C-alpha cells in the first residue's frame, strides 16, 4: 500500500505555491495554479493534483512553459474575449479571461473566451465549475498533443481533447458536471501508471501497431484508445476545432508533448462558452434541470455526472486529503 499523509487544502495550496515559485514561476502565475491543484486534490483527481507539481516545475526550468509570462487580453467583438497566454500557464490566462467573460455573458446572454499559446489547463471541469458557481452554464474545450489515431489509422492526429459542461445549482455548486476526455481514460492516468511501474487495464491504450496493451510505456508510444471507438474520435475532432482551430492555437499534431522536456512550449488552446440560462429559457431552465435531475436520481443506484466529485470535495474540506508521501518528497526536494 502507498504510504500517505493527510493534508488540509490550505496546506496543499501553500506547498504547491512555494514549489512553483522556487522553480522560477512568478507569484501571479503560481497562485491560480496552486489554488487549482488544491481543488483538484479535493475532487479526488490525484493524477492532475500534487503529482503534477514536479512536472510543472521541470517545464518551467526547461522552458516548455514560461513561468514569468504575462497573458494579454483583447476584446475583438462584444461577445468575444481573447487571451494570448504567451506560452505561460493556462490558469493565469483563464483567470484574466474569466474576469471579462462572466460579466459579458451576464450582459449579453452568451459570451466566449478563446485562449491560444497556452499550456495544459489541468482538470477542465475545475474551470467550468467556476462558471457554474457564477450562475452560468459553462462549456469548456481544450486540445492536447496528438495521442489518438483516427478511425482506421495508426498514427495519432488528435489529443485526448477533453470537453466539460457545468450547470449551476441552487447551493452554489454545479448541479451537473460533465468532464471527460475523448479517450477511454485520461493520458495522465497512463503516465501515472508508467511512473509507478504498474500495468494498465486492457482498453486504455494501443501499442504502436494498434494492438491493445497493458504496458503503459507501449501505450504512450502508441495511441490512447478513443472512448466509444469512432465516436470518441469525433469528440476529439470537435474539441480540436473549438480549442485550436477557432482560437488560433497550435493543432495537436504539431504541439510538443505535455510530458518530458523536449519540443519547447506546446502552444495549445482552450475555448470557454458561458451562457446565462435566464436569457435563453427564462424561468423554464430551473424546471427543466429539476426534471433531468429527478429522472436520474429517482432511480435506485443512479447518479449524475459530478456527484462523486461533489461528495469528495465536501469530505476533503472537512477532513483533508491523503497525499502520497513519495509525491511530497519530490515536491519538497524542489524547495531544497
Contacts of 111 (CB under 8 A, 6+ apart): 79, 80, 81, 101, 104, 105, 273, 274
Question: Across the chain, what does the average pLDDT equal?
Answer: 95
- For 259-268, the pLDDT digits (tens) are 889 999 999 9
Give the bridge partners for 274, in sequence order. Answer: 111, 138
The 3-state DSSP composition of the chain as helix, strand, coil percent (nearest 5) reads: 45, 20, 35
Higher pLDDT, 237 or 192: 237
> What is the Cα gyration radius of the chain?
19
Tell me the backbone φ, ψ of residue 194, rounded to 5 degrees: -65, -45
Dist CA 315 CA 41 (whole Å): 11
Contacts of 322 (CB under 8 A, 6+ apart): 4, 5, 6
Per-residue HEC secondary structure of 56-67 comes to HHHHHHHCCCCC
Question: What is the reported pTM?
Answer: 0.94
- For 81-120, the pLDDT digits (tens) are 999 999 999 999 999 999 999 999 999 999 999 999 999 9
Confidence of residue 142 (pLDDT cuts 50, 70, 90): very high
CB atoms within 10 A of CB 208: 13
Q: Name which of 10-14, 258-262, 292-296, 309-313 the model is least confident about.
A: 258-262
Q: Are 16 and 50 spatial neighbours (Cβ–Cβ below 8 Å)? A: yes
Query: What is the set of active-site residues?
Result: 47-48, 189
Confidence of residue 171 (pLDDT cuts 50, 70, 90): confident
Strands (E), the chain: 4-7, 72-77, 80-84, 110-118, 137-142, 163-168, 174-180, 205-206, 212-213, 223-224, 268-275, 321-324
CA dihedral 326→329→334→336, nearest 10 degrees, is -160
Q: Are 195 and 2 spatial neighbours (Cβ–Cβ below 8 Å)? A: no
Residue 194's Cβ-side half-sphere holds a number of Cα atoms within 13 Å equal to: 16
Q: What is the DSSP string of 11-74?
A: HHHHHHHHHHHHTT--HHHHHHHHHHHHHHHHTT-GGGTGGGHHHHHHHHHHTSS-TT---EEE
Confidence of residue 163 (pLDDT cuts 50, 70, 90): very high
**What percent of the chain shows pLDDT beyond 90?**
85
The region, left, alpha or beta by phi > 0 then psi within -120 to 50, assigned to residue 109 is left
Comparing CA positions, the residue from 66, 92, 96, 68 lying closest to residue 82 is 96
CB atoms within 10 A of CB 133: 15
Residue 1 has pLDDT above 70, yes or no: no
Chain position carrying cell 482538470: 123
The β-bridge relationship of strands 223-224 and 205-206 is: antiparallel
Q: What average pLDDT does this structure show over 241-257?
A: 97
Amino acid at each position: 500500500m502507498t504510504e500517505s499523509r493527510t493534508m488540509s487544502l490550505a496546506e496543499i495550496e501553500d506547498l504547491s505555491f512555494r514549489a512553483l515559485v522556487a522553480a522560477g514561476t512568478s507569484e501571479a502565475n503560481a497562485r491560480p495554479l496552486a489554488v487549482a491543484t488544491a481543488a483538484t486534490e479535493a475532487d479526488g483527481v490525484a493524477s492532475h493534483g500534487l503529482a503534477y507539481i514536479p512536472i510543472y516545475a521541470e517545464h518551467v526550468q526547461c522552458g516548455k512553459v514560461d513561468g514569468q509570462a504575462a497573458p494579454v487580453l483583447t476584446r475583438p467583438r462584444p461577445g468575444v474575449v481573447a487571451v494570448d497566454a504567451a506560452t505561460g500557464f493556462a490558469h493565469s490566462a483563464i483567470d484574466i479571461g474569466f474576469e471579462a467573460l462572466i460579466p459579458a455573458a451576464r450582459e449579453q446572454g452568451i459570451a466566449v473566451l478563446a485562449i491560444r499559446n497556452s499550456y495544459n489547463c489541468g482538470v477542465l471541469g475545475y474551470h467550468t465549475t467556476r462558471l457554474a458557481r457564477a450562475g452560468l452554464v459553462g462549456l469548456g474545450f481544450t486540445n492536447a498533443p496528438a495521442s489518438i489515431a483516427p478511425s482506421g489509422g495508426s498514427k495519432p492526429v488528435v489529443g485526448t481533447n477533453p470537453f466539460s459542461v457545468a450547470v449551476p445549482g441552487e447551493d452554489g455548486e454545479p448541479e451537473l458536471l460533465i468532464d471527460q476526455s475523448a479517450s477511454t481514460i485520461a493520458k495522465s492516468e497512463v503516465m501515472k501508471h508508467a511512473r509507478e511501474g504498474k500495468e494498465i487495464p486492457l482498453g486504455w491504450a494501443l501499442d504502436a501497431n494498434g494492438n491493445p496493451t497493458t504496458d503503459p510505456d507501449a501505450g504512450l508510444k502508441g495511441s490512447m484508445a478513443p472512448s466509444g471507438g469512432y465516436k470518441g474520435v469525433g469528440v476529439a475532432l470537435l474539441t480540436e476545432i473549438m480549442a485550436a482551430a477557432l482560437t488560433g492555437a497550435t493543432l495537436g499534431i504539431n504541439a510538443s508533448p505535455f510530458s518530458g522536456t523536449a519540443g519547447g512550449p506546446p502552444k495549445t488552446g482552450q475555448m470557454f462558452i458561458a451562457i446565462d440560462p435566464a436569457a435563453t429559457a427564462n424561468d423554464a431552465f430551473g424546471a427543466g434541470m429539476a426534471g433531468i435531475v429527478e429522472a436520474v436520481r429517482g432511480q435506485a443506484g443512479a447518479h449524475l455526472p459530478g456527484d462523486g466529485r461533489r461528495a469528495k470535495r465536501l469530505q476533503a474540506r472537512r477532513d483533508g486529503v491523503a497525499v502520497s508521501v513519495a509525491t511530497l518528497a519530490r515536491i519538497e526536494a524542489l524547495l531544497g
